Structure 1
Amino acid sequence: MRKVEVTPYSNAWPSKFQEEATELNKVFGSELIEIHHIGSTSVFGLSAKPIIDIMPVVKEITRIDSFNEAMRELGYEARGENGIAGRRYFQKGRNDRTHHVHVYEEGSPEIGRHLAFRDYLRAHPAIAKKYGDVKEELAKRYPSDIAAYIEGKEQLASEIEREAVEWVRKREKCK
């Protein structure tokens, strides 16, 4: 059973991302275009489950399955698309997860969605705090029910995502 734990922001999270990104770069090599730190641990000051979310962007998603063994050697479990078409998902740490890797092919709309959410929260600390407060409260209320935790934050996360996508559109129009 996965324990739901939300902790205050840790200054160690960016370096944990960087360390893992270095290893993933070795695994994916020339298939890798870029790699991003996403999710709550990528937003300074935001309380989060202490799991580093990483988003490699690759040339061709269908080639990623051939890296499953190399990912296993790093401690990852390959989960295929895991509910999102066009993604390859890996998790590390079983029930005590430390990392999630969400691989997308260049041009996937999921890339923009993840980056918009991250960048919006980085630019709007009051909204990030509200989101973090909700997550902390849900973790206290549902310490052993990850499904209830996820469901509890879903509406706010969806609202933030809609605002973030619109915010990015407006910014791009101004360029």
Structure 2
Amino acid sequence: MSIEIIPYADRWPSEFQLIATPLRDRLGDLALRIDHIGSTAVCGLPAKDVIDVQVTVRSQDSEDRIVDSICALGYVHLEHIRGDHLPLGMDTTSERWVKLFFLTPQGQRRVNLHVRVAGNPNQRYALLFRDYLRANPIAAEGYAEIKRQLARYHPDDEDAYYDVKDPVCDIIMAGAEVWAAINAWRLGSSDA
């Protein structure tokens, strides 16, 4: 599938809510938080037309229950994806970057569903990255331009797209960490 960056769509927040409601109902207390993450969660930011959702869980001790609950909603568990990109300069102990990853089946609204453990750096990374871009239009526009150019030069090469985008995100996170410290950033309420 070709990578295409489209202008921000006002429908993305309400589409997230339509996705999150059945997840909340099905997961119950397994989900500590359900959040809209990624570029579609940043007002005005161009993005791929894919809703990224992060479900935060207490631990992966209940992995079978989590997988069964999410798959019962029709999601496909990609078992080979067990963790996130390990950013330079952060705690890169691989077990602290574990996750479960799910997609919606072909023909349904495209969703990337990430299940991460509360307190792990990858859980915080997604939320801080989102909040920083929401608060910093210059950083958001620079990120948008990187994504547009990557899609232009590598529309059919997802590996190349992410090989460049991931380190760019790490650079943005360096600024986000300074911003978080200055502003005493804390996690807000869960989105769903």
* TM-score normalised by length of structure 2: 0.81
**Which has the larger helix fraction?**
1
Stretches of structure 1 that go unaligned for 5 or more consecutive residues are none
Q: What's the C-alpha RMSD, in Å, of the aligned pairs?
A: 2.1
1:53 aligns with 2:48: no
Residue correspondence of structure 1 range 91-106 to structure 2 within 5 A: 91-94=103-106, 98-106=110-118
8 Å Cα contact 1:39/1:53 also seen in 2: yes
Q: Residue 34 of structure 2 aligns to a residue in which SS?
A: strand
Give the paired residue count. 172
Residue-by-residue CA offset, 1:58-95 (whole Å, 9 max, x unaligned)? 22322132233442342311124724143221112459
Moved more, 62-71 or 131-140: 62-71
Q: Residue 53 of structure 2 aligns to a residue in which SS?
A: strand
Residue correspondence of structure 1 range 69-84 to structure 2 within 5 A: 69-80=68-79, 82-84=81-83
Q: Distance in 2 between matches of 1:97 and 1:55?
A: 16
Q: Which of structure 1's runs of 4+ aligned residues deviate more than 3 A?
A: 93-97
Shift of 1:120: 0.6
Q: Residue 63 of structure 2 aligns to a residue in which SS?
A: helix
Q: Distance in 2 between matches of 1:21 and 1:118?
A: 17
Q: Residue 128 of structure 1 aligns to a residue in which SS?
A: helix
- Which letter maps to 2:45? L
- Which letter maps to 1:76? Y
Match of 2:168 among 150, 156, 160: 156
- Which letter maps to 2:137? P
Residue correspondence of structure 1 range 23-62 to structure 2 within 5 A: 23-62=22-61
Q: Residue 172 of structure 1 aligns to a residue in which SS?
A: coil
Residue-by-residue CA offset, 1:17-50 (whole Å, 9 max, x unaligned)? 1111101112211212111111111001111111
8 Å Cα contact 1:32/1:58 also seen in 2: yes
Q: Distance in 1 between matches of 2:15 and 2:63?
A: 23
Moved more, 146-155 or 116-125: 146-155
